[in-house]
Amino acid sequence: MSSLSSLPLADLINWGWLRIGPPYIYININPVIFQIGQLAVRWYGLMYVAGILVGLQFITGYMARKGIDQEVLYRTLWWCIAAGLLGGRLYFVIQQRDLVQHYLLQPQHILATWEGGMAFYGAIFLVIPTVYWRARVEHINPLVLIDAAVLFATAGQIFGRIGNLINGDIIGYKSTLPWSTVYINPYSWACNPNVILGTCNVPVQPAAGYELLSNIVLLGVMLYLARRLTRPGLLTLVYLFSYSIVQFLLFFVRDNAIEAPFGLNWGLKQAQWTSLVVFIVLFPVTYWLLRTSKPVPAGEMAASYGIPQPLKKKHQQESIVGDEAIAEKDKETPHLEQDFIVSAEDTEVLVPPDPNPIVGSEDTEVILPLTPDPTAESDQIEVGPDPDLIAESDHPDPIADSNHIEVASHPDPNPIAESNHTEVALNPDPDPIVASETTEVTLNPDRD
C-alpha cells in the first residue's frame, strides 16, 4: 500500500510550455518570441495587438447601432491607443519608489515598457479625456463614445491578462492551493534576478488568472447591457464601478508592497488606494450623469441625439431630404400624354360648376403650360383626350355665335343629357373658311 502511494501521479497535461499535474500548474514560456539584434518581439506586445483587433470587432457593431461611422472610429482609435500606452506607463512610473534615481535622472527608462510595468488605471485616466475631446471634435455625444471605449477596453484587457500570465509579472502570494502557478522559465519575470521576489520555481497565487476570469465575466455583463441600456454613460459607470471593486479585492492576494499615503497605514497597496478613490468619486459622477443624460428614444441615433450639428452637415442633410421629397412628388404628379401636338403656350381648362354645359355659368380657369410645337401656326389649339370619341355637337351649324370650343366628357351614352363634365376651352387659330365663334363638341368614352 505504501509503495502505491509513493508512485508519481501522471500529469493531466504536459505540453512542454504548460504542464498541469499534481500538485500545481507549471508555466515554461520565454516571454520573448524571437529576437533580431536588439529588437525583441514579445508575447506581451503581441497580446496588445490581439486585444486591439478583438476589441475593434466587439465595438464595430455597437458603434454602428449608435450612429458612429467607421471613419470616426478609426480617427479616434489611434489617439486612444497612444493615450492608453502613455497613460499606463506614466502612472506606473510615478508609483515607483526609485522614481527620482531610476526614472527622472535616467529618463530613457520612462518609456522603456519592455523593462516591465504598466498600470491600467493610468490608461483609463488619460483615455477618457482623450475620447471626450475627440467626441467634441466629431460633434457626437461624448458619453456614447466613452461607452464604446470601455466596451473596447473590457475585451482588450482579456488579452492583456494572457500576456501577464506568460510574462509572470503579476505575482500572487506563495500558496499551496492545487491551482497555484509555478514559473520555471529562467527568462520569465518571476525568475528575473533584478526582481527580489523569490518566486522562481515557487508556487504562487495565479493573480493574473483571477483577473483574466473577472474580465471575461465583466465582458459578458457589458455585452448584455450594451443592447439594453438607452441612457448614454451608464455603461461607463458599470465598467468603472466593477473594475474598481474587482481591483480592490484581487490585490489582497497580489504580492505588492503596502503603501501608507498621508500616514494612513491601512494595509492597502497602491492600486487599492486608487480603486478606493475612484469608487468614492463615482458617486457624485453618477448623480450628475443621471440628472444630465437622458434616455435616447427609439429610432433616434444616440451619437447625435441632442447634439448640435455643424451648419455644413445640417444643410447637406436638408438638401438630401429636399431632393427625396421632390423626387417623391414627381412620382405622384400626373403627366399629360406625350403624343399631343400642342403649339399653344397655355391651355385653358374650364370646369363649370353647373352640370348643364349649355347654360352660361361661371368658369374656373386652370392654366397648364405645355411645350410648344414649332410645326403649329396658331397660338392655341384644341386638346382632346381621344379624337376618335368626338361626338355630334349641340349646334349643328358650325357658324354659331360662340367664344369657346367646348369639349364635354361624360360616361352617359346620351351626349346631350344633363351631367357633370369637364370643359376644355381653347383659342385655336381662326379658320378663314369658318366664321364660327363657338363650336360645342361632346366627348363620350362610351363608343355606343
Contact 307, 139 (CB under 8 A): yes
Mean pLDDT score of the chain: 77
Q: CA–CA separation, 101 vs 269, rounded Å? A: 22
Cis peptide before 203 (omega within 30 of 0): no
Per-residue pLDDT, 322: 58
Q: Which residue has the cell 507549471?
A: 26
pLDDT band at 13 (very low <50, low <70, confident <90, very high): confident
* Interval 364-395: pLDDT, tens: 444 444 444 444 444 444 444 454 444 444 44
Helices 43-66 and 70-94 cross at an angle (nearest 10°) of 140
Type of residue numbered 192 = N
* Interval 210-265: pLDDT, tens: 999 999 999 999 999 999 999 999 999 999 999 999 999 999 999 988 998 888 99
Per-residue pLDDT, 212: 96
pLDDT > 50? residue 24: yes
Q: Which long-range contacts (CB under 8 A, 24 or more apart) does 239-242 make?
A: 239/150, 239/151, 239/153, 239/154, 240/124, 240/150, 240/278, 240/282, 241/279, 241/282, 242/218
Contact 75, 138 (CB under 8 A): yes
Contact 415, 357 (CB under 8 A): no
Type of residue numbered 352 = P
pLDDT > 60? residue 207: yes
pLDDT band at 136 (very low <50, low <70, confident <90, very high): very high
Q: CA–CA separation, 217 vs 13, rounded Å? A: 25
Per-residue pLDDT, 97: 84
Cα angle, residue 139 at apex, residues 125 and 61 outer, rounded to 5°? 75
Grid cell listed for 344 = 399653344
Type of residue numbered 104 = L
Q: Is 161 left (phi over 0), alpha (psi -120 to 50) or beta?
A: alpha
* Interval 36-47: pLDDT, tens: 988 889 999 999
Query: Which neighbouring-strand residues pair with 269?
Result: 258
pLDDT: which is higher, 418 or 118: 118
Average pLDDT on 81-107 reads 90
Cα-Cα-Cα-Cα torsion 223, 229, 231, 237, nearest 10 degrees, comes to -50
Per-residue pLDDT, 377: 45
Average pLDDT on 171-189 reads 93
Per-residue pLDDT, 361: 44
Contact 25, 17 (CB under 8 A): no
Nearest to 427 by CA among 354, 374, 365: 365
The overall pTM is greater than 0.75: no
pLDDT > 80? residue 83: yes
Q: CA–CA separation, 409 vs 392, rounded Å? A: 12
* Interval 302-360: pLDDT, tens: 999 988 888 765 555 555 555 555 666 655 555 444 444 444 444 444 445 544 444 44
Spell out the residues 6+ positions from residue 195 whose beta carbon is closer than 8 angstroms to its own. 189
Query: Which neighbouring-strand residues pair with 174?
Result: 204
Grid cell listed for 176 = 499551496
* Interval 261-300: pLDDT, tens: 888 999 999 999 999 999 999 999 999 999 999 999 999 9
